[in-house]
Structure 1
Amino acid sequence: MKQVTEPQDVLELMNAGLAAAALNAALELGVFGELKRQPQSGAELAQTLGMPLGRCVCWLDVLTELGLLARADETYAVTPVAQAVILDMRSQSAWALQAELCREPYQRGVNLASHLKDSGPVWAAQGRAPLTHYEQVSQQSDWAERFTRMIYELHGPLAAALAETIELNDAQRMLDVGGGSGVMSLALLKRNPQLKSVVVDVANVCRVGRALADATPEANRISYHAADFLRDELPSGFDLVLECDIQIYSDALFRKFHAALNPSGRLVLIDRWWAQADGRQPAAHALHAFAAALEQPDRRNFTVAEIQTLSAAAGFEPLAVRTLATGETLIEVMRCA
C-alpha cells in the first residue's frame, strides 16, 4: 500500500476502491486480451461488450489513467506495462477468477464504520451468509474446477522454488495435505524420480487435479485421495508430509501428521502469513490481516516459534526454517522415533 504523505493522497485513497473495481471488471471481462488482439475505439468495444457507450469510454479512460491502456484519438490499445504485468503473467481465466474473488473484500467494507464494533463477522451484520471456501469447492463443481486450475497456475513459481530448496533424496512416499491440483507434488516428483505422492483434498478438487496431472510425465507417480483432512483419518506410511498455503494449524492436525509419517519422517509447512516474533503481522501483510479480522475478529496468525511449539507437543523436533525465493517461509520438523 502507498503511504499517505499529502492531503491529495487521502482523497485518492478514499476513491481507490472504485479504481480497483474498474480494473477487476476489465480483468473479468478480458478487456486487455481483447485490445491486444485488436486495438478498438470506445464505440467498438462498447458494442463488443454490450455496454452503454458513455460508460464504456469513462471506464477505458480510468484504465488509461492507471497506465494500462493508451489512447490515440478514439482508439485504445494495451500498454507495454499491461502486457508485462497482466498478459504475460497469467491466463485470462486466472485473472478473471482472482478479480471475482476480490468482490468479497469490497462487500466487507460496506458501512464498515457501523460494523467495526460488532463482535461477529461483518457479513453477518450486513445480513449476508456467503459460502466458505470449503463449502464452495465441496458443493460447486464448476467453481472447484476454476479455482483449482487458477491455483495450479499461480503456484507454479512457488512449486519450483520449493523443488529447488528441499532435498528429498531419501524420501519414497509423500502426502500432500490440501494439495489441490497437485502442483507442489508434481514439481517435487519431477526433481526426485524415486518419489511418489498422494494428494489429499475434497472430491471436486481431486477430480480436476487428476486431469491436470494426467497431462504431465509424472502422472503415474501421483494419486489423489478424496477426503476432508480435518475430519477424516489420513493414510499412513509416508516419509514426507507437506502442507502448503493452507493456514490451518492445530494440535489435532499435527497429531494426524505424526500418525501419517514413518519414524524420522519430515513435516514441511509453507505459509506466507506467519506473524512476526512479537505476534504482530508484518506491515506488508496488514491489509490481508485486516480483511481476515473482519470475518473473524480475534483471528491472528501463528508465529514460527508457536508452530514449532505446537509441533513439538505432537512429537516433532525442529529441523530448519527457510525463506523461499518466492517469499514464503518454510518450516521443517521431523517425527521423533
Structure 2
Amino acid sequence: MKLSQLPTSDVKPAPLVNMIMGAEIFQALATATRRDIFTLTKNPKTVEQISKSLKSDPKMTRKLLNCLVSMKLLSKNEDKYVNEPIANNFLVKESPFYQGDYIRLENSGYDLWKKFDQALKEGTKPVIMKQKMETKDLEKVVDPTFTLTMANFAMRGGAQRAVETLSKIPEFKRARKMLDLGGGTGIYSIGLALLNQNLKVTLFDIPPTLEISKKFLSRYGVEDRFELNGGNYVQDDLGDGYDVVFASHTFYGYPKEMLLSLFRRIVGANTERFKRMFALKIGNWTCVPKK
C-alpha cells in the first residue's frame, strides 16, 4: 500500500506507556524506600548530603532524586530536595501510615511475576494445608514483612473504617473481653481498645508474630490491656468467655470444613452476648457455622 503521509492515531498511547514504564517507576520507588531516602529528605538536603548518608554514587543519586521529583514524591528548590506531603505521610518510617513494608513485599515478588506465562500454561500449585496445621511449620512460612504489610494496608483507612463501624454496635460498647484471632500487629484491636477503655484483649497468633505485636502495643500505650497468646488457632485452645471475637485477613487458604470447625469452637465457648452478635452481624458461610 502506497501512503502519501505517515499514519496518525486518534487514540492516545499514554495509558499504555504508563503501564510499560510501570516496572521502572516502581523500581525507583522500591530502591528509594529500601535506602530510606524519604526519611533523609524530611528536611531539605543536597545531593552531596544524601549521597554521603547513603554512601552512594553522587551521579546516580542525583538521577534517582530527579526521578522521584518527576514522580511528585520529592520537590527540588535550587540544589536541595525535600519530601512532598505524600512522601511524608506514607514513606517516612516514623509515620503511622508508612507503606514501606508493602513496597518491599511487592518488590520481593517481582521474580514470580516473570513466571506468569508459565503459570498460565501449567496452573498454580495449591498451598499444602499440612503447613498450616502445625505451629512450627507456620513459623517457617510466615514472613514478618507480610505481617507488617497487613498493618500498612490497615492504616490506609481499612482499620479506621472497621473500628468506626464496630464501635457503633451497642454490644461492643458493653464488651469487656475480646479475642483478636490471628491478629498480627494488633492494629485493629488496638483501635477498638482505644475506643473502649474497659476492653481487655487476647491477641492470638504464632510466637514470632507476637514479637512484632509487642512493638505496636508499646507504640500506642496499651500493653497493660493485652494478653499475648502464641499458638495455632485451628488446633490450640483459644480460651473462652469472650464478648467479641475479631479476625481480619487471616483465613487465607484454609478449607471450608476446617474453618467451620473453628467457628463452632468459638461460638460454643463464648458468652450469650457474643452469640447474639455473631448471629446478627455476620452473614456469610465463612463466618456462620452450621448448627
Taking structure 1 as reference, are residues 35 and 136 closer, same or farther at Cα in structure 2, changes over 3 Å only?
farther
Taking structure 1 as reference, are residues 30 and 236 closer, same or farther at Cα in structure 2, changes over 3 Å only?
same
Aligned to 2:261: 252
TM-score, length basis structure 1: 0.63
- Counterpart contact for 2:180–2:204, Cα < 8 Å: yes
Task: Supply the distance in 1 between the matched residues of 2:12 and 2:125 (Cα, whole angstroms).
Answer: 33
Shift of 1:183: 2.7
Query: Between Structure 1 and Structure 2, which shows a larger proportion of helix residues?
Result: 2
Aligned to 2:3: none
Shift of 1:178: 0.8
Aligned to 2:132: none
Identify which of 166, 170, 173 aligns with 1:169: 173
Unpaired runs of at least 5, structure 1: 123-133, 269-303, 316-337
Shift of 1:154: 5.9
The answer on 1:97 being equivalent to 2:101 is yes
Shift of 1:26: 0.9
SS of the counterpart of 2:42?
A: helix
Aligned to 2:284: 308
The answer on 1:185 being equivalent to 2:189 is yes
- Counterpart contact for 1:148–1:180, Cα < 8 Å: yes
Taking structure 1 as reference, are residues 236 and 205 closer, same or farther at Cα in structure 2, changes over 3 Å only?
same
The answer on 1:13 being equivalent to 2:19 is yes
- Counterpart contact for 1:64–1:71, Cα < 8 Å: yes
Q: Deviations over 1:254-276 (max 9, x none)?
A: 223223323352466xxxxxxxx
Aligned to 1:328: none
The letter of the residue matching 1:69 is L
Q: What fraction of aligned residue pairs are identical, expressed as a percent?
A: 18
Structure exhibiting the larger radius of gyration computed from Cα positions:
2
SS of the counterpart of 1:36?
A: coil
Task: Supply the distance in 2 between the matched residues of 1:136 and 1:78 (Cα, whole angstroms).
Answer: 42
Q: Deviations over 1:145-189 (max 9, x none)?
A: x76666557645544443432231332321110112333223323
Aligned to 2:231: 227
Taking structure 1 as reference, are residues 260 and 62 closer, same or farther at Cα in structure 2, changes over 3 Å only?
farther
Number of residue equivalences: 261
Task: Supply the distance in 2 between the matched residues of 1:15 and 1:67 (Cα, whole angstroms).
Answer: 16
The answer on 1:195 being equivalent to 2:199 is yes
Taking structure 1 as reference, are residues 186 and 263 closer, same or farther at Cα in structure 2, changes over 3 Å only?
same
Task: Supply the distance in 1 between the matched residues of 2:149 and 2:19 (Cα, whole angstroms).
Answer: 29
Aligned to 1:67: 72
SS of the counterpart of 1:6?
A: coil
Task: Supply the distance in 2 between the matched residues of 1:235 and 1:206 (Cα, whole angstroms).
Answer: 17
Query: Between Structure 1 and Structure 2, which shows a larger proportion of strand residues?
Result: 1
Shift of 1:45: 2.9
The answer on 1:110 being equivalent to 2:114 is yes
Task: Supply the distance in 2 between the matched residues of 1:54 and 1:136 (Cα, whole angstroms).
Answer: 46
- Counterpart contact for 1:181–1:208, Cα < 8 Å: yes
Aligned to 1:39: 45
Aligned to 1:263: 272
Identify which of 82, 86, 96 aligns with 2:87: 82
Unpaired runs of at least 5, structure 2: 1-10, 127-134
Task: Supply the distance in 2 between the matched residues of 1:88 and 1:48 (Cα, whole angstroms).
Answer: 16
